[in-house]
């Protein structure tokens, strides 16, 4: 894999993040769509996002209108294979290596693609604030099915819960649907005590998720941001690296953990 190179100035900024994690860590990471675009997954919620190119499904419309549910399931049948076949990239792999080496504790993510876990991050140390596309949930009885073992039926049909007949939806947080309180509170509690908050690939536009890094900043954490666009937290951050996630995080992991055993983590990906 061809590796994007960092300018000297950006390398210095990444070195400052490495120093903070080395001196004060373990820290935590907060990630968004920008870490997954290098895996070929368009920004789920952004204006050009795969799922939102047409009108995104609003939760209240989903509940109220069978036609909305039919379109939702047709889109999911067509688009889920893109997510299911996506591979973690250098950014996900670097964060997993930093976790394994003890420099990062929990990753809080807004992504629903499961790529942190595919890269080797322990599932119990990944908080998916917006849920996961890799499971199907019954809105009535709360039962969950792994997506790979769930057959949504032929196009044009709306699957129902085989246990209670309730409405089924992918286990993600739709527009207008609340973030599960338990997850948000756990993420905020971790943010309050973390010594280092590493924000990656998000412009921090979506609340309440964006409250998590903000809570860390207000609680005195060292805040580092790796993103290719400005964020509202830049002014409060100690380090802002205007770069894509893959190159910056790979260098960060190299500084703290050393070069990866296999180039671009191909073996690691295959073994998951």
* Residues touching Zn ion, count (CB under 5 A): 7
Residue 205 engages Zn ion in binding (rule: CB under 5 A): no
Q: Give the span between the Cα atoms of 169 and 166, in whole angstroms.
A: 10
Cα separation of the two ends of the chain: 19
Pairing of strands 104-109, 239-241: unpaired
Which of 164, 189, 205, 272 binds Zn ion (CB under 5 A)? It is 164
Of 67-75, 123-131, 134-142, 188-196, the segment contacting Zn ion by CB under 5 A is 134-142
Of 23-31, 128-136, 157-165, 246-254, the segment contacting Zn ion by CB under 5 A is 157-165
Of 26-34, 61-69, 156-164, 245-253, the segment contacting Zn ion by CB under 5 A is 156-164
Provide the minimum distance between the beta carbon of 141 and Zn ion in the complex, in angstroms, as a whole number.
3
**Residue of 116, 130, 211, 238 marked active site:** 130
Cβ contact 111:134 at 8 Å: no
Strand ranges, E, within 204-249: 222-226, 239-241
Which of 140, 167, 257, 264 binds Zn ion (CB under 5 A)? It is 140
Interaction residues for Zn ion, span 222-251 (CB under 5 A):
none
Which of 1, 141, 189, 207 binds Zn ion (CB under 5 A)? It is 141
Residue 166 engages Zn ion in binding (rule: CB under 5 A): yes
Cβ contact 91:116 at 8 Å: no
Provide the minimum distance between the beta carbon of 138 and Zn ion in the complex, in angstroms, as a whole number.
3
Residue 144 engages Zn ion in binding (rule: CB under 5 A): no
Which residues, 6 or more positions from 219, have their beta carbon under 8 angstroms from its beta carbon?
A: 191, 192, 193, 194
Q: Is 92 known to be catalytic?
A: no
Strand ranges, E, within the chain: 27-31, 104-109, 126-128, 131-138, 144-146, 168-172, 196-200, 222-226, 239-241
Provide the minimum distance between the beta carbon of 169 and Zn ion in the complex, in angstroms, as a whole number.
11
Count of alpha carbons within 13 angstroms of residue 267, beta-carbon side: 4
Q: Which is nearer to Zn ion, 140 or 158 (CB)?
A: 140
How many CB atoms sit inside 10 A of residue 199's CB? 30
Which of 138, 196, 197, 223 binds Zn ion (CB under 5 A)? It is 138
Angle at 6 (CA atoms; ends 270, 199), nearest 5 degrees? 70
Provide the minimum distance between the beta carbon of 55 and Zn ion in the complex, in angstroms, as a whole number.
27
- Please list the active-site residues: 130
Q: Which residues bind Zn ion (CB under 5 A)?
A: 138, 140-141, 161, 163-164, 166
């Amino acid at each position: 894999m061809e590796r994007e190179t960092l300018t000297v100035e950006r390398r210095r900024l990444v070195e400052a993040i490495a120093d903070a994690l080395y001196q004060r860590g373990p820290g935590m990471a907060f990630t968004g769509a920008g870490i997954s675009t290098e895996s070929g997954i368009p920004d789920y919620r952004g204006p050009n996002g795969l799922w939102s190119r047409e009108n995104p499904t609003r939760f209240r419309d989903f509940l109220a209108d069978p036609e909305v549910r039919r379109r939702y399931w047709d889109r999911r049948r067509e688009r889920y294979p893109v997510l299911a076949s996506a591979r973690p990239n250098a950014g996900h792999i670097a964060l997993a290596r930093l976790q394994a080496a003890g420099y990062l504790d929990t990753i809080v993510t807004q992504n629903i693609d499961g790529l942190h876990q595919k890269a080797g991050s322990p599932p119990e140390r990944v908080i998916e604030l917006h849920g996961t596309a890799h499971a199907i949930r019954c809105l009535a009885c709360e039962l969950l099915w792994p997506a790979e073992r769930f057959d949504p039926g032929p196009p044009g049909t709306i699957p129902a819960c085989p246990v209670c007949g309730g409405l089924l939806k992918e286990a993600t947080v739709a527009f207008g649907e609340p973030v599960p309180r338990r997850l948000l509170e756990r993420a905020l509690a971790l943010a309050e005590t973390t010594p280092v908050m590493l924000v990656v690939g998000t412009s921090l536009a979506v609340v309440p998720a964006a409250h998590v890094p903000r809570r860390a900043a207000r609680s005195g954490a060292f805040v580092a941001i790796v993103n290719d666009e400005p964020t509202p937290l830049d002014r409060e951050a100690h380090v802002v690296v205007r770069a894509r996630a893959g190159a910056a995080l790979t260098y960060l992991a190299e500084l703290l953990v050393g070069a990866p055993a296999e180039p671009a983590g191909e073996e690691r990906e295959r073994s998951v």
